[in-house]
Structure 1
Amino acid sequence: MWPWEHVFFAYVLFSLYVHGRHRRRPTDPAVVALAVGAVLPDLIDKPLAWQFGLFETGYAVAHSVFVVVPVLFGVALLARRRGSETLTVAFTVGYLLHLVGDVLPASLSGRTLDLSPVLWPISNRLPIDAGGTFAESTGTLLVRYLTQLLTLDLTLVVGLQLGSILFGTALWLLDGLPGLAVFTAPIQRLRKV
């Protein structure tokens, strides 16, 4: 999944949960925390693999349930002591749904449960042959993805990705664009000065 797909995939499930449990839309800070959690594994592992060569693949330490679960548990304990549980829950949900969002496409494309994206170092996911630096690898993969879309090569994986974007965008709009105000409010204040 691409970063925006991870964010929308997490947003759909988080928003439905918040609506169902609390009968309201998600708050601005919670959506920002969710989005950060939803992209953080790739912001850590992809550059470490593609730019610095520390790992064979972009699914390593930040994707590993052996590392992530204890770290998130520790973060939750600290948050509980400080009384900031709401944002921690949103961040944790985003992070864990990122991992689910990586397992789903791997499993759909192989038509069997594939946990390799989240089992580093026990199971290494096959490296993606994108070649080059972080920017070159990202560009190569983006061109492949856009080619799939433009040639209407709509696999189950692409369907999941597009569904996340479309349904996530619609739900985000219906919810009133939560999270956006965190970024636009400072700009609005500057305009008033």
Structure 2
Amino acid sequence: MWPIGHASVAYLLYALSTRSRFDGPPGHGATVAVGFASQVPDLIDKPLAWYLGVLPGGRTLAHSLFVLVPLSLVVYEFARQRNVEEYGVAFAVGTLSHTLLDAFPILWNTETPWEALFWPLLSPGGVSGEGAPTILGLFRDSLGQPYFLSEFCFLALALYVWRADGYPGLGPVIGRLSPA
């Protein structure tokens, strides 16, 4: 899944979570946290695998539930101690939704690598030794795939919900840009 898909689904899940728990939209800081966290697995794994060659694939360390669950608990506890526990919840939703979305295509394509969820206990499946692909190559390979096209539907829905929620995460930015 591409960054827009991960961010869109993470926001939708987090917005659903805040509506069910607080009967309100996400806050500004937590929205930024969920958006950032939705990219964390790729921000860690891709450079370490593709450019530094430290990991066996671009979906290993930071895509593993053995890493993400404890990391999410540590971030939650850190945030809780600072009275911003919602940031910890947002982080967990962002990172965990990312790795689960990457494995989701197993439902219709049995050759989709899902083993990364349990790395290093299991090998990373079809992602080993993949090298550094080009953005254009990845984009070309994605065109026409229903999963790739669904990301634009998730993006449209997330933008709709984000607008209805009052653009959380953007408010402080707009406030700084507005003339006094």
Q: TM-score w.r.t. structure 2 length?
A: 0.85
SS in 1 for 2:148: helix
Distance 2:108 2:102 in 1: 11
Once the 2 structures are TM-superposed, how far is the Cα of residue 171 of structure 1 from its aligned partner? 1.3
Map of 2:140 onto structure 1: 143
Once the 2 structures are TM-superposed, how far is the Cα of residue 60 of structure 1 from its aligned partner? 1.4
Once the 2 structures are TM-superposed, how far is the Cα of residue 183 of structure 1 from its aligned partner? 3.3
Bigger Cα displacement from structure 2, 110-119 vs 89-98: 110-119
Cα–Cα, structure 1 residues 90 and 25, in superposed 2: closer, same or farther, change >3 Å? Answer: same
Map of 2:65 onto structure 1: 65
Map of 1:184 onto structure 2: 174
Q: Are positions 1:167 and 2:157 aligned together?
A: yes
Query: In proportion to residue count, which structure has more helix?
Result: 1
Distance 1:34 1:186 in 2: 22
- What are the Cα deviations for residues 160-182 of structure 1, in whole angstroms up to 9, with x where unaligned? 42331121122112222211224
Distance 1:11 1:100 in 2: 15
Q: Structure 2 unaligned runs (5+)?
A: none
Once the 2 structures are TM-superposed, how far is the Cα of residue 32 of structure 1 from its aligned partner? 0.2
Letter in 2 for 1:91: F
Distance 1:99 1:131 in 2: 20
Bigger Cα displacement from structure 2, 9-18 vs 110-119: 110-119
Q: Structure 1 unaligned runs (5+)?
A: none
SS in 2 for 1:123: coil
Q: Is the contact between residue 130 and residue 141 of structure 1 (CA under 8 Å) also seen in structure 2? A: no
RMSD over equivalenced CA pairs, Å:
2.4
Once the 2 structures are TM-superposed, how far is the Cα of residue 142 of structure 1 from its aligned partner? 2.1
Distance 2:70 2:16 in 1: 27
- What are the Cα deviations for residues 46-88 of structure 1, in whole angstroms up to 9, with x where unaligned? 1111121222321011111112212222222233233221111
Distance 2:157 2:128 in 1: 28
Cα–Cα, structure 1 residues 21 and 47, in superposed 2: closer, same or farther, change >3 Å? Answer: same
Q: Report how many residues are paired.
A: 179
1:69-148, aligned counterparts within 5 Å?
69-105=69-105, 107-111=106-110, 115-121=114-120, 122-127=122-127, 132=132, 137-145=134-142, 148=143
Distance 2:113 2:49 in 1: 21
